[in-house]
Each structure stands twice: as structure tokens, then as C-alpha cells.
Structure 1
Amino acid sequence: MNTTQPRSWSRISRALAALLLLGSLGFASIAADARPGGGMSFGSRGSRTYTGPAPTQVLPGGASPFGQSMTPRPNGYGSPLGGGFAGRGHPLAAGLLGGFIGAGLGGLLLGHGFFGGGMGGGGFLGLLLQLALIFFVVRWLLRRFTGASARSMAGATGTAPGVLPRTGYGAAPQAAGFGANAPPLAIAQSDYQQFEQTLRNIQAAWTRSDLNGLQRLATPEMVTYFNQQLQDYAGRGTRNAVSDVRLDRGDLSEAWSEGGQDYATVAMRYSMIDVTTDMTGRVVDGSPNERIAANEFWTFARQRGGPWLLSAIQQGR
């Protein structure tokens, strides 16, 4: 009796099961930050793109560096093109993840288990335990090297909800490095009101998958990223809806002018209902009854005399 073929199919089945499980873990990681931007940092801040925004009372830990930007680096090298799971983390963590998966799947195809039989396997249950261990190790590495772990929602601290306090230009220190000497810019209360309204309008346009609406609110670079994310959802047969957006608190990080353009980076702490559904309306992530929080720096840019457009989102540390 030839047992080679059944064993081969058994190995392939175990490898496919591992891929499906890893895929589901990856989807859960993406879906956990389903709002516009997906919990990542991308966009451009003019000459300060590769200089972190000044910390504020709202976000005293500063911001995570950009994972994606179309702005060339000052040293002449190309901009980072990170994306997906690896694009969120540190190259070392991404490399370790790739090594774990490559070696593990190779072991499965050869019938040695994910760790070459070193853990005893124990059938499919053993496989699940090994994959779970890898997932938690990789997640720890990503948090260790990026400092981008999610923060729990915090209440407002003396500022009326939904109002950006006017701190005035110069209230936050000017960022050091390239572009630090750009002229400061005075930000009026009407500007803060526009920032807050743009926050809500972008979430609403995103929920409608309205690219024309996003083009009126964000730079072409940001619309490109949003479009990629919306296409990813459509490709998976899902859609994301954000509603009841509330700005809990916000303040100015820095504002400046350069090259005929004005820039303002604002630290925002806001909350929302964030739900992902399939095309039948069945909820696959999030809850329509639970609010989630976001701590982000939003940078706005405008031509002199024009409207403010969102040009960057960075996650707060």
C-alpha cells in the first residue's frame, strides 16, 4: 500500500491550515485599526516630514515616524514605501516574522512541525499552540521596537469636548532639524474649527467610500493612501463605517510657512464608533455599541488663502 500520497496531502493540509490561521491573525491586526489611516503613520509635512512634531499636553510622547511618504528624504534617498503588516513595524521585527513563517512553513511541508518537531507537535492542537506563541512573540517585538501599541481612551482634562483650545503659535517648541527655521504661523480659532470639521468630514467621506469628497478634504497623496485602503476592504468583501466622531481634546503642536504654503500640526484625542461589516451587513469587527479612541497628530496644509487640506496622519506614542 502506497502511503506517500496521503502523507503528502497531510503535510499540505497542515501548511494550508497554518496559512489560513496566520491570515486570520493578520486580518484581525488590520481590522483592529480600521478607521481612515488604519492606525498607521503616513503623508507629508513639507520640510519637517522626517522631523517629529513637537510633543503637546494631549500627546506628550510625540509621534511615530512615517511608514509611508512621497516626500524624498533630505539625504537624497527614496521615501519609505512600507505597507501592510511589515510596514507598521520595525525592520528587525518584520525580518524575524518572515524568518519564523518561512522556517515554520518549511517544517510543516516536510512533516516536522512548525519548529522542526522540537516542541513535540501534538497534532493540530500543537500546531495552533505554536502559531499562537509566534503571534504573541511577534506582537511583543512590534510593540517593543515601534512603541505603537494602542492606548486606552482617556477623558477630557478640563477642556470642553469637541473644542480645540487656542494655544497660539509658539506655545509648542519649534521642531529641531531641517526646516526648523521656517517662519511661525498664527493659528486662529476659525482654523481650529476647520481642523475639527475636517476630522469629522473625512470620517464621513471614508464611510461612504467617497473619493471625490476625500479629494476636497485631503492632499492627493493622502487620497492615494485612502483609496488603497478602501480597495483592500473591497477586495476582502468588507466595508468600514465610522460614526459619532467626538473630539475629546486637541492642541497645536507647531505651525509654520514655507514655499508659499502654510502647515499646522495638531495633536488630537478623539473617539468614535468603528465597525467593519461584510457586504451583507454582518459585523466582522468592532461593535456598534462600543466607542474606540485614537491619539493622533494630524497635519494640515494650505496654499495661501486656500482651504486647509489633511496632508499627514501620525500615531501618537
Structure 2
Amino acid sequence: MFSAVPRFAKIAAIVVLAAASSFASFSDADARRAGSSGFGSRGTRTFDTPAITRTAPTQAAPIDRTMTPQTQTATQPPINAQPRPGLFGGFGGSMIGGLIAGGLLGMLIGHGFGGGFGFLGMLLQIGLIIAAISFAMRFFANRQRTNYAASAPGTSYNTNSMNASQRPSFSIPPIGGSAANAKPAARQANDEIGLKQPDLERFEQLLTKIQTAYGSEDYATLRQLSTPEAMSYLAEELGENATNGVRNSVSDVRLLQGDIAEAWREDSAEYATLAMRYSSIDAMVDRTTGKLVDGDDRNPSETTEIWTFVRRPGSDWKLSAIQGTGPHGA
């Protein structure tokens, strides 16, 4: 009975079951944290990798959910590189054209391709022609590759990215630390703004407020503390949780360590990208019963992420982008 089921029906059933399994499974890391990707905007540096810091010694995940258009540079051949002829271009095309023209001329005067040897002679001539053309094509192709390799430019290295990990970083005091115990901040080389201690304290406050608002699904607070673009992605994640019948509970957020990766001015706005390692009680619970679905609702876990804030004239800092620092955003 089952053998009579068409093959495409079996394949369709497998696809449906796989899709159902993927929708049924989720994790708190994918729901809220950037994980192996990122979202938001860093202005003209959206697709650039932030500088490596002590807090985030690994490369940040790229931003793959953004409204910032990515400019694509057209790939152009090197100036000294000669255009590569096609299969029948250049000398090979001229040879083939000459041989064909000669054969046609022989046919017109009564000799044909075979000359005086008939059909067998024609086959012999065709074979010799093909062998000669193949030899000529290989010879000139090897010669062109040799010339191109000799004229190729040398490999260059970006010294800015190599020196990024050697630059000193600002340190954000942990929650509860007093100003008297805090060490004086050292100016980072790529801090073009000159961020002050009040800015660092504000970033710490935004981390706690945004995470808490996310855990309580406080859309009004999230809208106040983030840009419209970042808010749209946060709202999208919250909507997906609601569709799955769960809620991402986040509490007891504490900043453990933080460094400034980049700070720069762009048009009339100021951007600041920071690496922040924080602890929080992060769990996925059932929206109706409150039963634990994933994560740990009692013990805190640590997370390291790259957060970017933006400030425009007359306004406060707002969350602009979040990037993970590893496969699991930790």
C-alpha cells in the first residue's frame, strides 16, 4: 500500500516535518542576542568590523539585518592585464578562419578539403588542422598566464587592523563600583569624540534598561531608548516569541566589563561602538503558565556583545546596533 505512494509525496512529507521541527525549536540566544549575526546600523561603518578590545578579543559578527544600503564596487581587471581572448579569438581565430577559407577555396576550384586523396585525405587534413590549432591555443594560453602572473601587484596589508588590538581601551566601571575606586580612563587611539565618564555611565544604564525592557516586553521604553531601525528588529523578535507562545525573561542585568571599540563623528551624528560583557538571568518561559522552556531562570549567565549607540544634536544616546562575538553570541 505504502509503495504506491508517489515519490514526490514522500519528499513533501519529509520537508513538512523538517519545517515543523524548525519552527518548534528555538533558543534564547537566537531570540534576543545577536549570536552569529547582528542587526541595526553603524552608519557608514555598518559593514566594517569593529576594533578588537580586551572585552571582546574575537572578531564581531557581521551585521546582516540592516536598512543601510551596501555599496558594491565593480570589479575591474588590472591595468596591465591584457584581455583574454575567447576560444576562437586572437591567433586561434585567425588560423581557423584561414584554414576554413583555404578549404572553401579548394572546393571551389575542384580539389576540396581532401585534395587528390579523396575522403581519406580530407579526414587526415582535418586531423592535422585540429592538432595544430590545439597546440597553438595551449602555447599562447600558457604565455598569457605567465605574463599576467609577472605583472600582478603584490599583496598589501591593512596596518590599521593589525594595530587595532594593540590600542589602549577605556574601561567601564562595573555596576556598584565607585568613582574613587575607578582607575583613570586611558584615551583610545580610535576614539575621535573624546567620550567622558558620564557617557560611559550612560551606556551602562542603557544596557540595563534595554535588556530589562526587552524581558518585560515594554515596547514604549524600547522605542524611547533605541533608533527606529533597531526598534523594528527588537519588535520583530518579540513578535516571533509571542507567535511561538513564549516570552524571553531577562532580569538582574549587570555589566562586568566594557571597552570602547570605536567612537567617531559622521555628518551631524556621533557614534560609539562598545564591547560589553554582562551577566543576566536569561530564560525562555511559556507565556501562559510561566513554565521554563529553555535557559536558566535561577542562575545568571554571561554574554559578550558589541553594542553601537548614536547621538544626534540635542538628543541622548540611543541603541543603534547589536552584534555577537561568536557562534553563540557569548
Q: Please say if residues 172 and 259 of structure 2, whose CA atoms lie closer than 8 Å, have aligned partners that are also in contact.
A: no
Structure 1 pair 231/19, CA: closer, same or farther in 2 (3 Å)? same
Q: Please say if residues 204 and 243 of structure 1, whose CA atoms lie closer than 8 Å, have aligned partners that are also in contact.
A: yes
Is the counterpart of residue 51 in structure 1 residue 48 in structure 2?
A: yes
Partner in structure 1 of residue 284 of structure 2 = 276
Is the counterpart of residue 267 in structure 1 residue 280 in structure 2?
A: no
Instruction: State the Cα deviation string for residues 214-263 of structure 1 (Å, max 9, x = none).
Output: 11110000000011111101111111110111111001111111111011
Structure 1 pair 239/166, CA: closer, same or farther in 2 (3 Å)? farther
Structure 2, unaligned stretches of length 5 or more?
Answer: 75-170
Provide the secondary structure at the position in 1 that maps to 2:198. helix
Q: Please say if residues 278 and 302 of structure 2, whose CA atoms lie closer than 8 Å, have aligned partners that are also in contact.
A: yes
Provide the secondary structure at the position in 2 that maps to 1:65. coil
One-letter amino acid of the counterpart of residue 55, structure 2: V
State the identity as a percent: 39
Structure 1 pair 159/262, CA: closer, same or farther in 2 (3 Å)? closer
Is the counterpart of residue 68 in structure 1 residue 81 in structure 2?
A: no
Q: CA deviation at 1:209?
A: 1.3
Is the counterpart of residue 299 in structure 1 residue 296 in structure 2?
A: no
**How do 1:1-317 and structure 2 match up within 5 A?**
3-4=1-2, 8=5, 19-20=16-17, 23-24=20-21, 28-35=25-32, 37=34, 40-75=37-72, 161-162=174-175, 167-169=185-187, 171-173=188-190, 184-279=192-287, 280-317=289-326
One-letter amino acid of the counterpart of residue 67, structure 2: M
Provide the secondary structure at the position in 1 that maps to 2:235. helix
One-letter amino acid of the counterpart of residue 259, structure 1: D
Residues of 2 paired with 1:309 and 1:263: CA distance? 10
Residues of 2 paired with 1:252 and 1:260: CA distance? 21
Q: Please say if residues 36 and 203 of structure 1, whose CA atoms lie closer than 8 Å, have aligned partners that are also in contact.
A: no
Residues of 2 paired with 1:165 and 1:8: CA distance? 73
Partner in structure 2 of residue 93 of structure 1 = none
Provide the secondary structure at the position in 2 that maps to 1:216. helix
Residues of 1 paired with 2:29 and 2:46: CA distance? 26
Q: Please say if residues 30 and 38 of structure 1, whose CA atoms lie closer than 8 Å, have aligned partners that are also in contact.
A: no
One-letter amino acid of the counterpart of residue 42, structure 1: F
Q: Please say if residues 27 and 294 of structure 2, whose CA atoms lie closer than 8 Å, have aligned partners that are also in contact.
A: no
Q: CA deviation at 1:50?
A: 1.1
One-letter amino acid of the counterpart of residue 275, structure 2: A
Residues of 1 paired with 2:14 and 2:59: CA distance? 40
Q: Please say if residues 269 and 311 of structure 2, whose CA atoms lie closer than 8 Å, have aligned partners that are also in contact.
A: yes
Residues of 2 paired with 1:255 and 1:36: CA distance? 23
Q: Please say if residues 165 and 250 of structure 1, whose CA atoms lie closer than 8 Å, have aligned partners that are also in contact.
A: no
CA RMSD of aligned residues (A): 3.1
One-letter amino acid of the counterpart of residue 161, structure 1: P
One-letter amino acid of the counterpart of residue 316, structure 1: T
Q: Please say if residues 41 and 320 of structure 2, whose CA atoms lie closer than 8 Å, have aligned partners that are also in contact.
A: yes
Q: Please say if residues 167 and 252 of structure 1, whose CA atoms lie closer than 8 Å, have aligned partners that are also in contact.
A: no
Q: Please say if residues 43 and 70 of structure 1, whose CA atoms lie closer than 8 Å, have aligned partners that are also in contact.
A: yes
Structure 1 pair 31/204, CA: closer, same or farther in 2 (3 Å)? closer
One-letter amino acid of the counterpart of residue 44, structure 1: S
Structure 1 pair 19/67, CA: closer, same or farther in 2 (3 Å)? same
Structure 1 pair 166/26, CA: closer, same or farther in 2 (3 Å)? farther
Instruction: State the Cα deviation string for residues 30-77 of structure 1 (Å, max 9, x = none).
Output: 434443546641111111111111111111223111111111113389
Residues of 1 paired with 2:291 and 2:14: CA distance? 25
Greater mean alpha carbon deviation, residues 188-197 or residues 58-67? 58-67
Provide the secondary structure at the position in 1 that maps to 2:315. coil
Residues of 1 paired with 2:217 and 2:201: CA distance? 24
One-letter amino acid of the counterpart of residue 291, structure 1: P
Q: CA deviation at 1:207?
A: 1.5
Structure 1 pair 274/230, CA: closer, same or farther in 2 (3 Å)? same
Q: Please say if residues 250 and 267 of structure 1, whose CA atoms lie closer than 8 Å, have aligned partners that are also in contact.
A: yes
Q: What TM-score, normalized to structure 2? A: 0.60
Q: CA deviation at 1:18?
A: 7.2
Residues of 2 paired with 1:210 and 1:37: CA distance? 19
Residues of 1 paired with 2:65 and 2:251: CA distance? 26
Structure 1 pair 39/273, CA: closer, same or farther in 2 (3 Å)? farther
